[in-house]
Structures are given as structure tokens and as C-alpha cells.
Structure 1
């Protein structure tokens, strides 16, 4: 499903010129705000990931590969170039697909028997993307992942390739998932037997993906006093995933929305580094703050992001980078 021209739904969110910490007030978008965003994207933060065409283990079962049909995926305005939000959704979907195979649980938030017994679930803690060439809707996309289970966190890496372009790189990502008690929402430690059961399906060697993985950087300690509010939202029911909080890719949409408000073109994105700090729930009022500067090497622009509640509870910190 494509939106006609904006991320804004039902007058409940806006994105436009940044301003210094305005009152949220009634969250309504002016026609100027919508027109500005429509120049960048036809996407909605609620669009599901593209449908999967196939899924299978790699040759040594240390990695897992899926293929996606992006013909009807959300695109950047006036082009057939797939939005970077779609890449994030593919990566999110791939991680779920892999663990469905590993655990035998085909639910949308798969959990092993041990996880169910201990009321454990996975939550994304950090993800770092590098982007190469975004594909078009006429291309076939292949994504591959491998992971390394640990006591407290599971490391997972990704490579996204354009099969139509001979396997050219689309994006790569590295991430950390933590185990959380579904009832108490507190961090938990994985039992040794849970880690050991994946020994034949995990690896410390991410080079099997054949991709140059990004390195997470030090994120700025951005505060509301040295940033600008670029967009605001009220969390809708359809923003909530099956873990009961705002889905990870929804935040990415919010971040990229703010980058557009800062004048950046999404087809110029080179990297995105996101650290999730707290959960966010239905009905909460959200502020997306930014601070933009030239990249130190002169290659383009960098934007520091802070996403927080109206009460200034920090939900995430991030940095996005764009080519000149």
C-alpha cells in the first residue's frame, strides 16, 4: 500500500520547518508541510515489509537468506527508487524469518520453547546501517543474515543485495538484540543451554555475508537545549508491534522524516546509526529533535537525532549521514 504523499495520518502528526521546542498543541499539518514532504517520499510509516519470495539457509547453515518482491514497495517521490525505510523493514523481517526457522515458532514474534517458559522476548537495542545504491521497484532484492548468541545480547549482521544488478550492494547492517522479560520488561540473561542449542547455526565470522559491515560510532549527547524540534507525533495503535511497544522501523521512519525536514534527500543517505533507550507506548506524544552539521571529511551532512516523549523521556539517539 502506498500513501499519496506524506507520513501524516489523520492530522495526528506533522513534519515541516524545524523550530525551537514549540508546544505540541493540536498536531495538525498545514498544506505547506505536506507539500514539502511530498517532494521526498510517498511513504507511510505503517506500510508492511515487502512480501517474501523464498527463504532458506545458506550452504553451511550459518546464515539465512530471503528474497523479496519490492514491486509495490514504498518509493521516493517522482521515482521508482525504493525508500530506505523499505530496506529497514526487510532487515527487520529477515531477522524474524531466520528465528522462525531456528525456533520452529512461525508467529510474528517467534520465541523458542525456552524463551516461552521464561517469558523472554527479543528487543532491538542498537542497529547501524550503511547504504550503497537503493534499488528500484523493477529489481529483485536478496537479504542475508547471520548471528551470534550471547548471555545477555544476540549480535546479528545483515547484507542486502540487488540480484538484478548482479548482486550489487544495497545496504549492510550490524545490530544487537537483548533478551527482555515480557512481563517485567527487564533485561534477562539467556540460559547456557539456550545459547548452546544454536551452536550449529551461528557464527562469529560475519565475512560469510560477503559485505563490508558498518561500525557503530559514538552518538552525540544531544539535549533539547541544543537541538530543534522537527516533527511530532501521537503514537497510534498501528504503530505498536506484537511486543506491545512502538515497532523499531516506525522510529526509523520518524528519524528520516526529521532528516527530510532538515532539507536532506533520502536517495543521498549513506548511513544511519540508532540506539534504542526506552520503550514507547500507545497514545504517547513524541518529539523528534535534530542538530545538523557538515561532515568532518566534507563529504556531506550529518544529523544528530533525539527522539523523546513530551515529558522528555529519551527513547533513542541516532545519527544519519547524507552524501553532498
Structure 2
């Protein structure tokens, strides 16, 4: 068997700043003020033949008694006389203009979008939706995740399954020290292993697409936990991929399967969703493949150190690449994977050597290019004959994306 762990934006409104003079914005409308000189007792405006100072092309008023970067000169205020009382109408106009400008600026700074998700980061770590039962996370398809057909590989899709499953547990506070293990599982030295995986691919995402992944968990019998996923196009809502899986617990030390402890079930039970499988369960029995009835055999497959996960066995996503090692190249060139059912029988360790066997159930008269759908059976086995994984894949003619 192989492990398959299950485990908000600052909008800075782009405000074009005005020129700040003495704490006020120079965008205040002071051009309507008469050009005549006004002599104030407190504020003396010096009008002379010299040019009016400017800051960034905007005329400013030079006031005695203040200093601002040597532009404003300081001098003691003159004695006040009754006949020199300022024109209050003019001052009122200036104050009103400044006040209105400040209010306008405040309105811009306080602007908020009508929709809360307009400025949301679509590539964050996800959030809980549907009354806390479904976890949603978005992914942007990167250039290094696409292959020769300019679409993502099935291995990339499965990696996103694993990532959202673990992030779900982390988001609800159930991620312990292990890789997807809950706190109660960590106390008992238990890890998750996947026993069955089903995937149906309606359309493959391409480079630059944003994919929205919804995932949830449910009970499955006494000792299993089921996890389901639905991949959608973030922009259109089109369903791209659906997947369902079953997990059981295994003791990390003894490497033996364990019953699901009541404490673990209680941890997860709050988040169980009573809903049908995302993918209808394929209950057909997978036939036994041997050297005699397999049409394609790829022997001598060995895992590398990078194929191991934190539980010290080969990650289940690697198995998919191995079964495709023995798939006919003609099918790979003319068809694309539409669906697959995988049954994990035994874990694979670093020092294991495997064989990959494939049998094709349908073939056209002039090869696979003329076929409609092609179905294949797969087997991964150890050199000693023990089955690691059985699988069934269904292929359709390639589409233009």
C-alpha cells in the first residue's frame, strides 16, 4: 500500500498622492483667490516682483512665522492695527476649499470594493466553505507542471489532491506532527495509507489556468475514511476533474494495518459530509496479470530517495508514473487518460525492485490511432511476486485544447 495523506488582503487603493505642503495637499483650489495682497497681523503674505514659489508646478502661499525647508522665511510678526483686519470672506473660501479637498481624499482612501472577493488572493492556502464542511483551495498551473501536450500530467493532478487534503486538516486544526496524521493518530503512532483511488478527468488544465479544488471527508465503513475532490475552472466553473479515495490507518513502527480508533473517528466526525461519492465507485474486479497474459512489461523499476515521503515509503503518486512506464507508446501519443481506478495492495520501500505490466483490452485493426476508447489493465509487483498495486485505465482520443 502507499500513503496518500488526507490531511485572507490589503487592498491598497491606488490613490495618486497630491503634493503635500505643510501637511496640506496642494490640490486644494486656491486659484480662485484674488491676486491682490492681503496684509495680515498674524499671517503676512509677501507680494513682490519676485516670482511666486512653486512646488512641483503648484503655486504655494509663503507665510511668515513658519519654516519649511528654507522656502518659508521667518520674521517677527508686525504690530496689529484695526484697519488691517483680514478679508474674512477670502479666508473662508480658502478654508472651505481645503476642507472639501480633505473630505474628498478621505472618501478615496476609505473606498472598499462592492464584492469582498474582488481583491482576494486566488492562490492562498484555502478556506472553509459550506458551513465548515468543504475546504476550497485554488492553484495556478505553472509552466513546469505541463508536458508535451501542453496540459498538466495526471501526476500533477494527484499532487494537488494530496496538497488540498493535508491543507484541509491543517486549516481545521487537525494536523498533528505526522504527514496528514491527526493529533490522536500521532499519540498512537498511526499514519494514513490509501487503499483505493478513482479519478475521472473531463478536461486537462493548461498553463496559466487557475483551478479551484473543493474537498471533503466522509465515513466509509468501520475502519475507512473517504475523501472526495472536485476540480473546477476558477473562471468558468466548469468541472475539470473528480476523484474519490479510501484510507485506512497503519502503525508506523510495525507497518501493520490498524482499526480506526474511536478517538480519531471523534476528531474527524465533526467534519464528515453525508454526500455521494464524487466518482461512482467502480466495483469491477481487476483481473490477475501475469507474464503470460500481459502484452507489455517494464522490468527493473527502482525508487529513488526523492520518491519517498516522510513516512519512509514511496508516495502513491509515483505508482501512477510506474504503471504508465509499460503503457503502449502508441496509446500515449494518440490518446489521453480519461479515468483510472487504482487499488493499493502493499507499500513500496526504497530498496524494492518492481515490474510494471500492462494488458490492452481493445485495439483497432490498424493500431490504436483508429480506436475510440482504449481500456488497459495494470499491475505493479515486486521481484518476489507480491502485488504492490492493481489498476485499470481508460483512454480517449486526444482533444485540441
TM-score bucket (shorter structure): 0.7 to 0.9
SS in 1 for 2:257: coil
Matched, 1:88 2:136: no
Higher strand share: 1
SS in 2 for 1:246: coil
Matched, 1:311 2:384: yes
Q: Which has the higher contact order (CA 8 A, sep 6+)?
A: 1
Q: CA offset at residue 98 of structure 1? A: 1.4
Instruction: Quote the Cα distance in structure 1 between the aligned partners of 2:144 and 2:216.
Output: 25
Q: Superposition pairs for residues 112-127 of structure 1, below 5 Å?
A: 112-127=182-197
Instruction: Quote the Cα distance in structure 2 between the aligned partners of 1:143 and 1:178.
Output: 23
CA contact (8 A) 1:280 1:315 kept: yes
Instruction: State the match for 1:72 in structure 2.
Output: 143
- Name stretches of at least 5 consecutive residues in structure 1 with no aligned partner: 1-50
Instruction: Quote the Cα distance in structure 2 between the aligned partners of 1:247 and 1:284.
Output: 13
The structure 1 segments of at least 4 consecutive aligned residues displaced by more than 4 Å after TM superposition are none
Instruction: State the match for 2:357 in structure 1.
Output: 289
SS in 2 for 1:259: coil
Q: CA offset at residue 220 of structure 1? A: 2.0
SS in 1 for 2:193: strand
- Aligned pair count reads 266
Deviations 1:59-91 (A, max 9, x none): 2111111111212342121x4311122111111
- CA distance 1:73–1:61, shift in 2 (3 Å): farther
> Given the alignment, which residue of 110, 119, 138 partners 2:208?
138
Deviations 1:39-59 (A, max 9, x none): xxxxxxxxxxxx963311122
SS in 2 for 1:253: helix
CA contact (8 A) 1:130 1:214 kept: no
CA contact (8 A) 1:103 1:110 kept: no
TM-score, normalised by the number of residues in structure 1: 0.76
Pick which of 216-225 and 105-114 moved more.
Answer: 105-114
Instruction: Quote the Cα distance in structure 2 between the aligned partners of 1:300 and 1:238.
Output: 34
Q: CA offset at residue 152 of structure 1? A: 1.3
Instruction: Quote the Cα distance in structure 2 between the aligned partners of 1:276 and 1:293.
Output: 22
- CA distance 1:308–1:245, shift in 2 (3 Å): same
Instruction: Quote the Cα distance in structure 1 between the aligned partners of 2:316 and 2:385.
Output: 19
Q: Superposition pairs for residues 27-176 of structure 1, below 5 Å?
A: 53-77=124-148, 79-105=149-175, 109-149=179-219, 151-164=222-235, 166-176=236-246
Q: CA offset at residue 320 of structure 1? A: 0.6
Larger Rg belongs to:
2
Instruction: State the match for 2:22 in structure 1.
Output: none
TM-score, normalised by the number of residues in structure 2: 0.62
